[in-house]
């Protein structure tokens, strides 16, 4: 048993190494660096400008210390909103970027023969794809977190407790997983870099935009399943004061289930994919 | 001779309405085995099936007695591969690339040793993008050797190479076979290359296996009654020979070459041809047995191999 575990972990390490060396070369690294800059910039924009927009009424004349105090009061009240907005823009940007990354990282390899070479080595398809999905999800999540954490280093939102923060992190991870798994499914289905990029980016870009901008137009159950992060954000932003944890847990469970279904379908198709 | 290392039973594969392989059955013994056929004959499809990269419609195959579908992972641990036109990261050096490949295998060779073997020790730190086509192909052979394979599949290893590059790659294959005892299955559409290095051959045409055996057997089988005539006017001589009683199956295989089958011995044919040439004012430069595999392939399999 111990020996078997050791061999499996060694094999997984090899696959991880293979994935890093074959997929994360120069353009991908530059791409990821670009993403972290975009996300950090978006977070900066939110943290810097959202409080100003909400906290200052330009109709009224500036009234010295009182206005500053009012502004600080509003600022404190809207900490939840600001933090979640920071995540929101990160995820909105990623809903466009993830299909591009997976198109480059998976569809391109299926198209140009790289995958043929890799699968000619002693590499098991299911494990290889699982490693691929896990690595890209983890890296992207680290990027989302790092851009937010970068700003939290300067300012921590005291209004949000550890429990809610944990839920926020979990929900953003599951939302990310949902986008990655569905796009992976699309990539193995089409085996075409441009189709994956265009269909994936259009689909997830529109969905994310719709959910963010037209809350009432999209049925809540769909929001729950597609974006648990949005559900939690609605609470944290102060739209609904009492968090209904059942809603949040259902949303997380539903999205994890859908993500797993997409991953399973992607693996089944990938196992039969002719390269 | 032991068990064949590759056993193929009735393999068929189609892509939509195109039948790439049509019920191929063959065995491959240890040594250097060539798979010859024109472009589109099904060679690459057969390679991809053997590596479980694509699934056959019917039939089965075994490598080292292991099933290519069920035991694919075990097989790939013991088989090295060089695909046609492999993709490399141009910024990597050969040494970095081989070091990466070595991590995949449980049992691996030293990258430095492999680079020396394929003659790339002086280019080991040069980016792959700066290597010549021949050097890249030798690097591909080096990576195929990384896992200490017992068998290496080479798909068109000399395509896109100049004469010198081809020669280097062919010499390397022979040397590896002699020094390490590794068997090779090599696909090519250039028979003259395979003829130089292979012990066995299979002719593939339009997805069908047309002939298989070791080279000596094939030559013996097809060349004993076949005579090649080199002349100044092949088509005119062929027209004349078609009306001659001893000549059968007269074919023009080049601007100056006529192949003819005859039950007469070579001397009788030669004197008859010279006689005809004198009367018809055609120069005949040589009359000899057609012992070249290229002639056999063109003559015996030409139609099926290229146009069916």
Which residues in B lie closer than 8 A to residue A26 (C-beta atoms)?
Answer: 91
Q: Note the pLDDT of residue A70.
A: 66
Complex-level ipTM: 0.82
Note whether A272 contacts B: Cβ–Cβ < 8 A: yes
Q: B30 and B214 in contact (C-beta within 8 Å)?
A: no
Shortest Cα distance, chain A CAs vs residue B129, angstroms: 14
Q: Give the residue carrying structure tokens 């490949």.
A: B101
DSSP 8-state symbol, B123: G
Note whether A122 contacts B: Cβ–Cβ < 8 A: yes
The yes-or-no verdict on residue A185 having pLDDT over 80 is: yes
Which residues in A lie closer than 8 A to residue B85 (C-beta atoms)?
Answer: 113
Average pLDDT of the segment spanning A62-70: 66
Instruction: Return the higher-pLDDT residue of A215 and A137.
Output: A137
CB B51 to CB A119 under 8 A? yes
pLDDT, mean over chain B: 88
Average pLDDT of the segment spanning A233-262: 78
Q: Two tokens at B257?
A: 């070459």
CB A21 to CB B100 under 8 A? yes
Write the DSSP string, A54-120: HH--TTSPP-THHHHHHHHHHHHHTHHHHHHHHHHHHHHHHHHHHHHHHIIIIIHHHHHSHHHHHHH
Whole-angstrom CA distances from B14 to B17, B58, B208 are 7, 10, 12
Which residue of A14, A25, A116 is in closest CB contact with B83?
A116
Shortest Cα distance, chain B CAs vs residue A2, angstroms: 18
The percent of chain A in helix, strand and coil, each rounded to the nearest 5, is: 85, 0, 15
Closest CA to A183 of A104, A109, A99, A263: A99
Q: Note the pLDDT of residue B68.
A: 96
Superfamily of domain B6-213: P-loop containing nucleotide triphosphate hydrolases (3.40.50.300)
Q: B64 and B72 in contact (C-beta within 8 Å)?
A: no
Q: Note the pLDDT of residue B307.
A: 35
Taking only the tens place, the pLDDT of each residue in B146-182 is 999 999 999 999 887 888 888 888 999 999 999 999 9
What percent of chain B lies above the pLDDT cut of 70? 94
Q: Give the residue carrying structure tokens 């696909």.
A: B187
Average pLDDT of the segment spanning B120-126: 91
Average pLDDT of the segment spanning B231-247: 89
Q: A263 and A181 in contact (C-beta within 8 Å)?
A: yes
Phi-psi region of B55 (alpha: psi -120 to 50; beta: other; left: phi over 0): beta
CB A116 to CB B48 under 8 A? yes
Which residues in A lie closer than 8 A to residue B55 (C-beta atoms)?
Answer: 272, 274
- B6-213 and B224-307 agree in CATH topology: no
Instruction: Return the higher-pLDDT residue of A251 and B291.
Output: A251
CB A122 to CB B73 under 8 A? yes
Chain B residues with CB under 8 Å of a chain A CB are 48, 51, 53-55, 73, 76-77, 81, 83, 85-87, 89, 91, 100-101, 103-105, 147
The yes-or-no verdict on residue B308 having pLDDT over 60 is: no
CB A18 to CB B73 under 8 A? no
Note whether A271 contacts B: Cβ–Cβ < 8 A: no
| Range with the poorest average pLDDT among A125-134, A178-187, A260-269, B162-171 | B162-171
Q: Give the residue carrying structure tokens 């020094």.
A: B179
Q: Note the pLDDT of residue B173.
A: 92
Q: Note the pLDDT of residue A97.
A: 86
Taking only the tens place, the pLDDT of each residue in A200-242 is 999 998 888 787 776 666 777 777 777 787 777 766 655 545 6
Which residue of A114, A121, A274 is in closest CB contact with B76?
A121
Taking only the tens place, the pLDDT of each residue in B248-287 is 888 887 788 898 888 888 889 999 999 998 888 889 999 9
Distance, in Å, from the CA atom of B213 to the CA atom of B219, rounded to the nearest integer, reads 10
Q: Note the pLDDT of residue A17.
A: 83
The yes-or-no verdict on residue A19 having pLDDT over 80 is: yes
Q: A238 and A81 in contact (C-beta within 8 Å)?
A: yes
Domain residues of chain B, as ranges?
6-213, 224-307
* Residues β-bridged to residue B21: B13
Note whether A125 contacts B: Cβ–Cβ < 8 A: no
Helix (H) or strand (E) holding B41: none
Taking only the tens place, the pLDDT of each residue in B17-72 is 899 999 999 999 999 999 988 888 899 999 999 999 999 999 999 999 999 999 99
**Best interface-test mutation with B: which of A120, A124, A191, A273 has the largest number of B CBs within 10 A?**
A120
pTM of the entire predicted model: 0.81
**Exposed (0-12), middle (13-18) or buried (19+): which is B164, by Cβ within 10 Å?**
exposed
Distance, in Å, from the CA atom of A187 to the CA atom of A161, rounded to the nearest integer, reads 39
Spatial strand order of the sheet with B58-63 comes to B18-28, B6-15, B58-63, B66-67
| Range with the poorest average pLDDT among A42-51, A53-62, A195-204, B130-139 | A53-62
Phi, psi of B233, deg, nearest 5: -140, 85
Distance, in Å, from the CA atom of B188 to the CA atom of A189, rounded to the nearest integer, reads 32
Q: What residue of A is the nearest CA neighbor of B72?
A: A122
Q: Note the pLDDT of residue B306.
A: 44
CATH code matching the domain that covers B224-307, chosen among 3.40.50, 1.10.10, 2.60.40, 3.30.70: 3.30.70
Average pLDDT of the segment spanning A71-93: 67
Q: B98 and B86 in contact (C-beta within 8 Å)?
A: no
CB atoms within 10 A of CB A77: 14
CB B54 to CB A275 under 8 A? yes
Distance, in Å, from the CA atom of A103 to the CA atom of A100, rounded to the nearest integer, reads 5
């Amino acid at each position: 048993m111990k020996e078997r575990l050791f061999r499996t972990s060694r094999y997984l390490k090899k696959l991880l190494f293979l994935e890093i060396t074959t997929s994360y070369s120069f353009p991908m690294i530059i791409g990821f660096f670009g993403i972290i800059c975009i996300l950090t910039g978006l977070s900066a924009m939110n943290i810097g400008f959202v409080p100003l927009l909400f906290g200052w009424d330009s109709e009224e004349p500036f009234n010295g210390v009182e206005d500053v105090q009012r502004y600080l009061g509003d600022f404190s009240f809207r900490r939840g909103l600001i933090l979640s907005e920071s995540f929101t823009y990160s995820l909105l940007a990623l809903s466009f970027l993830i299909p591009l990354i997976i198109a480059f990282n998976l569809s391109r390899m299926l198209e140009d023969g790289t995958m043929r070479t890799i699968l000619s080595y002693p590499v098991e398809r299911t494990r290889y794809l699982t490693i691929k999905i896990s690595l890209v999800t983890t890296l992207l999540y680290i990027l989302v977190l790092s851009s937010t954490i970068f700003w939290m280093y300067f300012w921590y939102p005291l209004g949000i407790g550890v429990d809610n923060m944990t839920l926020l992190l979990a929900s953003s991870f599951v939302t990310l997983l949902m986008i990655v798994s569905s796009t992976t499914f699309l990539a193995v289905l089409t085996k075409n870099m441009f189709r994956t990029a265009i269909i994936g980016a259009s689909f997830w870009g529109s969905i994310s935009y719709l959910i963010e901008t037209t809350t009432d137009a999209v049925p809540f159950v769909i929001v729950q399943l597609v974006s648990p992060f949005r559900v939690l954000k609605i609470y944290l932003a102060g739209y609904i004061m009492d968090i209904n944890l059942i809603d949040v847990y259902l949303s997380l469970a539903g999205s994890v289930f859908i993500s797993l279904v997409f991953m399973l379908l992607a693996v089944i198709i990938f196992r039969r994919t002719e390269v | 001779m032991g068990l064949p290392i590759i056993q193929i039973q009735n393999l068929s594969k189609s892509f939509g309405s195109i039948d790439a392989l049509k019920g191929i059955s063959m065995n491959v013994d240890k040594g250097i085995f060539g798979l010859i056929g024109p472009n589109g004959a099904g060679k690459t499809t057969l390679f991809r099936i053997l590596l479980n990269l694509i699934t056959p419609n019917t039939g089965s195959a075994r490598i080292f007695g292991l099933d290519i579908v069920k035991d694919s992972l075990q097989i790939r641990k013991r088989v090295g591969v060089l695909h046609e036109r492999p993709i490399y990261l141009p910024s990597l050096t050969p040494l970095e690339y081989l070091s990466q490949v070595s991590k995949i295998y449980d049992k691996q060779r030293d990258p430095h040793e492999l680079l020396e073997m394929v003659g790339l020790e002086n280019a080991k730190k040069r980016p792959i993008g700066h290597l010549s086509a021949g050097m890249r192909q030798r690097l591909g052979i080096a990576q195929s050797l990384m896992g200490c394979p017992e068998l290496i599949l080479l798909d068109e290893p000399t395509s896109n190479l100049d004469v010198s590059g081809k020669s280097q790659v062919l010499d390397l294959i022979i040397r590896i076979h002699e020094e390490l005892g590794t068997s090779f299955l090599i696909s090519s559409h250039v028979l003259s290359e395979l003829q130089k290095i292979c012990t066995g051959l299979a002719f593939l045409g339009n997805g069908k296996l047309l002939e298989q055996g070791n080279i000596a057997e094939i030559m013996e089988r097809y060349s004993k009654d076949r005579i090649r005539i080199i002349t100044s006017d092949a088509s005119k001589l062929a027209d004349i020979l078609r009306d001659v009683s001893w000549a059968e199956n007269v074919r023009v295989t080049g601007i100056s070459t006529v192949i003819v089958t005859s039950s007469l011995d070579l001397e009788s044919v030669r004197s008859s041809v010279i006689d005809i040439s004198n009367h018809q004012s055609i120069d005949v430069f040589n009359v000899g047995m057609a012992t070249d595999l290229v002639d056999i392939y063109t003559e015996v399999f030409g139609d099926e191999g290229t146009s069916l």
